[in-house]
Structure 1
Amino acid sequence: MKARVKWVEGMTFVGESGSGHAVVMDGSPESGGRDLGVRPMEMLLLGMGGCTAFDVVLILKRGREPVEDCVVEVEADRAETDPKIFTDIRVRYIVSGRGLDRAKVDRAVALSAEKYCSASVMLGAMAKITHEVELVDTAA
């Protein structure tokens, strides 16, 4: 796996993944940026959220659960001094479908958090990560 990050100007950078997709990263105006893209630390949270959402949906689909939607909200606190690592990360899953089995959804989240989501496992080595699951029954 590869990635390349190119400085554009000010505090704006373009990151390109090995698969050829690009993303703009920028800093806040206070740090010399123009607020043209996500912050690099936000990218870490987005990556973790995408990784675990991917896992949960895939596990539920393979288990033939009637999943219709999955939203993962990630919030984090950072240390106050450099390096300002994440100290606490809260992950909230909102999983929708008709008659989803709560135990299967909880198991999918646990499998992602503990085994399959590399981003969660790596960040969990430094930060305390908690998970919350909300089920939305679309049959109602």
Structure 2
Amino acid sequence: MSHKVVTHWKGNLQFESDNPSGKLLTMDTSSEDGGYNSGLRPKALMLSSLAGCSGLDVVSVLKKMKVPFSDFRIDTLGELTDEHPKTYHTVSVEYHFYGDQLDEDKIKKAVNLSVEKYCGVMAMFRRFSEIKLSIHYHNI
């Protein structure tokens, strides 16, 4: 299986990229760096991909386990190297679950399955950065 993505220059420092789903996204840089600040930043988009990949896994596993929760958020922070090419040397992934009487053991199991087995983006990140994980339970 392979994925093909076509990225097209839209002028100045702006690019538009497709996706196998057929959806489009715009990438750009800040006005301080010569862009229009009109799109997502490529490196930060990698963090979104990491959170999205793991989040899809976690929700899917929790649904199969019939574990209720009212809200779920992933905060991802990437620390960049000082020298070029600047890459993420450390990435913190914080899973936040909200609900009434959260089943912490099953939630932890779902997160661990994503992190250790299912999330391909997490596996790729591990090749170039240290991953720090935390799970936060917000009983409401």
- Shared fold per TM-score greater than 0.5: yes
Alignment of 1:30-49 (within 5 A): 30-49=32-51
CA distance in 2: counterparts of 1:31 and 1:137, whole angstroms? 42
* SS of residue matched to 2:6: strand
Q: Offset of 1:108 from its aligned partner? A: 1.1
CA distance in 2: counterparts of 1:23 and 1:106, whole angstroms? 32
Query: Which has more strand, going by share of residues?
Result: 1
Q: Does 1:63 align with 2:61?
A: no
CA distance in 2: counterparts of 1:12 and 1:68, whole angstroms? 37
Which runs of 5 or more residues in structure 1 are unaligned? none
CA contact (8 A) 1:57 1:67 kept: no
Q: Offset of 1:97 from its aligned partner? A: 2.3
The amino acid of 1:38's aligned partner reads: L
Alignment of 1:30-109 (within 5 A): 30-109=32-111
Q: Offset of 1:47 from its aligned partner? A: 0.6
Q: Offset of 1:111 from its aligned partner? A: 1.0
CA distance in 1: counterparts of 2:55 and 2:20, whole angstroms? 21
Output the aligned Cα RMSD: 1.1
* SS of residue matched to 1:7: strand
Q: Does 1:12 align with 2:14?
A: yes
Once the two structures are overlaid, the 10-residue window that deviates more, 26-35 or 41-50, is 26-35
Which runs of 5 or more residues in structure 2 are unaligned? none
% identical aligned pairs: 30
The amino acid of 1:111's aligned partner reads: L
CA contact (8 A) 1:14 1:23 kept: yes
Q: Offset of 1:117 from its aligned partner? A: 0.8
CA distance in 2: counterparts of 1:31 and 1:87, whole angstroms? 22
CA distance in 2: counterparts of 1:67 and 1:116, whole angstroms? 21
Q: TM-score scaled to structure 1, two decimals?
A: 0.93
The aligned length equals 138
